[in-house]
Chains A and B, each alone.
Chain A
Amino acid sequence: MKRLLLLIFPLLLMLIFSCSRGKQETQGPVTSPIEKRDTAVDITDKAHTDLQEFSLEPFLKEGNRKHNIAVVIYGIWEDFPDYSEVFVGMINGLIEIGWMDDIAEADFYYDPDMRQIREVIDILKMLEENEYSDYLTFSRNLYFDLEWDTDTAKSRTFRNLLSEDSSVDLIIALGTGPGQVFSALDDLRIPVVADSISDPLGSEIITSYDDSGRDNLTVRVDPDRYKRQIRMFYDVVGFERLGIIYEDTDEGRAYGAVSDVELIAQEKGFKIVHNTNVLPVDEGEEACETRYLVAVEELCREADAIYLGIVNGLSARNLPNIMEIMNRYQIPSFSMKGSAYVKLGVLFGVSESEEVATGIHNAKNIIQILRGKLPSSINQIFEHVPHIAINLAEANRIEYDIPIDIIASSDEIYTNIPFRGQK
């Protein structure tokens, strides 16, 4: 027994203290089979972030005919390419999902340098002449310009467009005006896909962000778009009085995101300096611009930061004059239009126009509607991907020190301000 003890004891100790490599795979009392090393993500079946009930495969309508797509815009305005950009986005989305043939990017512009995008009517002309699709018809005959006046919707040409004889299968509506027109037409059965609307809810185009209120209408919305901009502006600058200029109409307030500004003002505790000293659009561009400069001067005396919303008189052409006044008062500025104006000298901006993503989103909606999906059942909320833009040259001019964390977070940084007339 003693020899056994003598043998066992040291052996046991040796065994214990030398078995350091033999660690169990699991420490728990319940052993489980050793799992083979694999990825940390289970990709067993592909997850679809937006479930499609309908196929996106191209098809012709009954009688092997192409689908007719009409386009209605609110108006044409120099330095306001938004409708063209959104429409091009849709075209590119349709190309992406196989409903149209490839189109070179430069073909959407007047110039090879792609500095000026074509107007919608000219894009339609290009599409018509080249027949880029075997499944869709875009035509100048299926186009209408409201010329910034919703009353033009009462015209015969517009009525003809919507009549059954025109055989329009779907309408693309770009702008607040067309949205208001189509939402008011109770007897219209043609599905409408609306985009490029500043405030669909405020403009009473839709009843809620979740529901357009009309079976045949869907509007792409980004409810927090302007709120994000104003919050960011406040968080960076920390102003006490924010100046805004807008036309004192429902539309004007929508274009100026006034309700969003008021909401954030309550949230953050800053004051708003309102200025409505602007002219309506039918007064002409020059008059609007001159009056706008007066409004800017008035505002600069009272506010310590200005949020440049969309309003008559604010244009790329007028911007140097606007900035000259603001620089004199050393007022930090934020452009609703985003990098386009930041490039031209505004201090901050957030670009929200992610044409590729929104284009594909709109294209998919169009196809699903052509397949029979009810427009009102489509999810309207589609947020833009914000790009923060800053102009360091402007910061120097007004002797404003931009915090380095905003520089680090910026997606577009501009270091110069072009001369007058230079883009």
Chain B
Amino acid sequence: MNKRIRNAIIASVIVLVVAQALNAILAISSFEKTYRDTLISNFRIIARDLKREIETGVNFGKPISLFSGMDTIFSNIMTENENIEELYVTFPDRKIIYSTDSQTVGHIVGSDEFPVFVENPDQDQLYLSEVSVYRGAAFISLPIYYNQQRWVGTVHLQFNTTVISDKVKTIIKDNLFYFTAILISAILVMIILQIVIGLFHKEREKGLKPQVKSTIVIIFILVISQLIFTYMNNNYYRKAYIRIFNANVDTLSKAIKNDMEYILDWDIPVDNLKKAEKLLVGRLENNPQAVEITITDPDGRALYRANLEDDIYHASSILESSSADIEGYQVKLDSTDIKRIIPLKSRRAVKGYLAVFINTKLIQKRLNDILFDALTIIVVAMIFSIELLRILSIILPTEAPGKKQIELIEADSGRKLQIIRVTSFLFFFATLVPLSFLPIFIKEVFEVSHFSLMNLAKDTILSLPISSYMIGAAIIIPVIGFISNRFSIRNIFLLSLVLFGGGTMLSAFSNNMVLLIIARLVAGLGYGAGIINSTNMIIRFTDPGNRTSGFGSWLGGFAAASICAISIGGVLVNRLGYRMGFFVAAGFAVLLGLFVLSYFQAEYKGPAPQTKKIGLKSFFHIFKDRTLVAHLLFTTIPIQLAYIGLFQYVFPLHMNTMEISQSNIGRILTLYGLIALSTPLLSRASDRIKNNKLFIIIGNLITGVFLLVFFLYDNVILMIMTILAMGIGSMIVSSVNEAYIISTKEAREMGETKLMSIYATYEKMIAIAVPIIAGVLIAALGFSTSIGFIGVFTIGGVILFALIAKNIRYNKTEKVLADEG
């Protein structure tokens, strides 16, 4: 087998394995949370029942500490639920009053981490339950209120976590079976096709090259295998979820049946159950699995009904004046997928029926969430796989043997763009992985170390490690900018990776805030050095004819990394802990270091400046150039406001107020990243069109127009469309932005890298101020008006930029070509 075929097979197998594994892990992690919550909700139902029963007695005058009949209540629950380990009823200070383990009465359950509830709660806090884990056992805690006001006690239901983890393990095991089967099949098909391509390829003038055919086959098999795996996964999860959901409905139905039959056993006629509808609506409010609960007579005529309609709970009874709502309502007494019919018996005679209507909307919503998660996972896995393929195509060349690697790099500008892209992807993957968990990690370190500093508020202290990272970047950027022409690009990258890797490892082992702040500062130094050195790299690896493509490739790598890193980082940390997250980030920095060592020549340095302009005065030189000033004031500031102020700050907050779930907020924001993936394509287009100013104007105009619409409307659809528009606008601007800046006269005089470093410093300063500005705007004007106001600012900036700035590149291109020619 020739080397090319061998390399193609190796590359494709690696990509398949990684893509499938990533898909499997992300899918399992994504579903695991939903599954666990649903399993736990069964215990929640039981705990809520217990709370309700006790509260009824308390409200009727039974003091919590002198509650007769508690043993009966406990024993009924324990008999029917073997997975419950213990039940406790405690005072608010967790001192046990009643327990299924009598030895524990009088002692304290749990730890200070157990939940503390509030007095005079809002209606939606009455049944708020919290899950705690203590010494290997899980607890669901619910408050007991007297007259819905005074917190008089707490119910703690202790269950064994292995009940949950055993069921989850079963899911994982089943998943691994699908995973293995599909992977092996895909690998076999892949190998066969690669061999066929290798053996039967004929060189034609206009035909596809073998490596292109290989790539197409890899991507094709990858997509098919991912889709099949996702489809089977999704189907499996759907069934598992519906099974658990139905089990929860059964638990609820059984609890209501037991209550009703207890009453009926006292020979109270089924059509004389006063306040039964209130009992039903109480159940319904706390058990979202059902959308209606009705008690009927033996013929199906509704007697008491509680239902949820248009998000409002209704209760009606034939005994009350609200009977108009229930008069004539008949329930068909046959169980279906969406309805449970349970006979209510007393002394073996059927006295009536309990009808529980399942909340199909809730099921559908959850299944939609599972589906969206699956689609998101496919996208993430595909993006990661394609980047991996790109990396492997460089490491495992499929060109004819004999040519030296270095010669290939020198000769092939397309390959250089690939190297830029790979460097960007690895760099940003390493730097973005910690972003997914850093705020929580900082909070944990803070709580462990009890740090305080000059009476600063907790939130301010928690932001210090993040600020120190940015400060590190801000410090090193001008420094590297000034020395970039004296040290090789490779060495600066290695320095940045050592700093970043060292700072990241130090972060992993930080157990106090001071150390963490220092660690993040060091990591920030590395990050800043890498960022500014990337400009050097792009300039060195491209010429003015394809410079924009170079920057586009860099941005494309960033977009791909940002989509993958946060998802994967989150999963890593959930499964393996924070340290592993930091280790992975550092690991990717090491990989990048090896890559740089392999593919960057030692003599590559940044471009030398034409003049001797150095020193701090350089920071003010940009204000001499009206184009740079116009760009800074009328393009950079609006971009920063839109991207950092709106995208990272205002939009997530505003979507939260619209009651959009966190998962959906993440998905909506990811649309931006997906669009950014196309930046390289647009960069290539701009290289042909050669009017960067026009691109900047159009890009910002698109963003500004959509932001203005918020003066008139404000809803989820507009939010999604605006994010898409911002993605498109940002993509258009980003594809030319850096190229536009380094095409100015000042850039050529002081050196492109130096100018970029100064410009980047100004950008960082604006970035620090922008969240504060956004916060002030929201406080003063509210969300919609603030967004519209930023739209006005953006449009105004576009107009002023159009009037003041020049289209430099078009003018300079011929001169540059002439100079270099």
Taking A8-B594, A385-B66, A385-B68 as contacts, is the C-beta distance between A23 and B575 under 8 angstroms?
Answer: yes
Q: Which residues of A contact B578 (CB under 8 A)?
A: 27-29
> B187: CB under 8 A from chain A?
no
* Contacting residue for B579 out of A8, A24, A406, A411, CB 8 A: A24
What are the residues of chain B within 8 A of A19 when measuring CB–CB? 576, 580
Taking the complex as formed, is A153 at the interface, i.e. its CB lies under 8 A from any CB of chain B? Answer: no
Known interface pairs A28-B578, A235-B60. Does A41 touch B104 (Cβ–Cβ under 8 Å)? yes
Within 8 A of B (CB), among A1-24: 1-2, 4-6, 8-10, 12-14, 16-20, 22-24
Query: Please, how many angstroms separate the alpha-carbon atoms of A9 and B388 in the complex?
Result: 10
Residue B69 interfacial (CB < 8 Å) = yes
Residues of B within 8 A of A42 (CB): 107-108
A185 on the B face (CB < 8 A): no
Query: Which residues of chain B from 390 to 408 have any CB-CB distance to chain A below 8 Å in the complex?
Result: 391, 395-396, 405
In B1-58, the 8 Å CB interface with A consists of 14, 17-18, 21-22, 25, 53, 56-57
Q: How far is the CA of A22 from the CA of B510 in the complex (A)?
A: 21
Q: Which single residue of chain B is at the shortest CB-CB distance from A413?
A: B266
Tell me, yes or no, whether A386 is within 8 Å of chain B by CB.
Answer: yes
Best-surrounded residue of A39, A384, A392, A401 (most CB of chain B within 10 A) = A39
> With an 8 A cutoff between CB atoms, is A405 at the interface?
yes
Give the chain B neighbours of A229 by CB distance below 8 A.
61
Residue numbers in A under 8 Å from B572 (CB-CB): 16
The smallest C-beta distance from B190 to any residue of chain A, in angstroms, reads 16
Size class of the A contact interface (CB-based, 8 Å): 35 or more
Q: Is the CB of B263 within 8 A of A404?
A: yes
Whether A386 pairs with B587 at a CB distance below 8 angstroms is: no
Q: Give the residue of B59, B106, B135, B262 whose beta carbon is less than 8 angstroms from that of A49.
A: B106
B590-614 residues at the A interface, CB under 8 angstroms: 590-591, 594-595, 597-598
Question: Contact: A47 with B107, CB < 8 Å?
Answer: yes
In the complex, identify which listed stretch (B121-129, B269-277, B487-495) lies at the interface while the others stay far away.
B269-277
A364 to chain B, nearest CB (A): 16
Closest A residue, CB atoms, query B139: A40
Q: Is the CB of A43 within 8 A of B104?
A: yes
Residue A232 at the B interface, CB < 8 A? yes
Which of chain A's residues has its CB closest to B262's CB?
A: A408
Contact pick for B68, options A18, A387, A402, A403, CB 8 Å: A387
Q: How far is the CB of A222 from chain B (nearest CB, A)?
A: 10
A394 → chain B closest CB, angstroms: 13
Residues of A within 8 A of B67 (CB): 385
Chain B contacts for A385, CB-based, 8 A:
66-68
Nearest CB in chain B: distance from A124 CB, A: 31
Question: Per a CB cutoff under 8 Å, which of A5, A10, A409, A411 touches B14?
Answer: A10
The residues of A that contact B748 with a CB separation of less than 8 Å are none
Residues of B within 8 A of A2 (CB): 395, 405, 598
* Chain B 471-512: CB-based contact to A (< 8 A → 1; otherwise 0): 000000000000000000000000000000000000011110
Inter-chain CA distance A17–B57, complex, in Å, is 53
Residues in B whose Cβ lies below 8 Å from that of A41: 96, 99, 101, 104, 107-109
Q: In the complex the two chains form, is B134's CB within 8 Å of A23's CB?
A: no
List A contacts of B219 (CB < 8 A): none
**Nearest CB to that of B110 among chain A residues?**
A40
Most buried by A among B263, B274, B598: B274
The residue in chain B whose Cβ has the minimal distance to the Cβ of A388 is: B60
Closest A residue to B516 by beta carbon equals A29
Which of B319, B576, B595 has the most chain A CB atoms closer than 10 A to its own CB?
B576
Instruction: Tell whether A350 pairs with B66 under 8 Å between CB atoms, given A26-B577, A41-B107.
Output: no
Q: With A23-B577, A41-B108, A409-B57 given, can you name 18 additional A-B contacts, CB distance below 8 Å? A: A4-B594, A5-B595, A8-B594, A16-B584, A19-B576, A20-B576, A30-B444, A37-B135, A41-B104, A41-B109, A46-B106, A388-B60, A392-B266, A403-B275, A404-B259, A408-B259, A411-B69, A415-B266
Name 18 A/B residue pairs within 8 A (Cβ), A-sorted: A2-B395, A9-B391, A14-B18, A14-B21, A16-B580, A16-B587, A23-B575, A27-B577, A30-B444, A30-B448, A35-B136, A40-B109, A228-B63, A385-B66, A385-B68, A402-B274, A404-B274, A409-B62
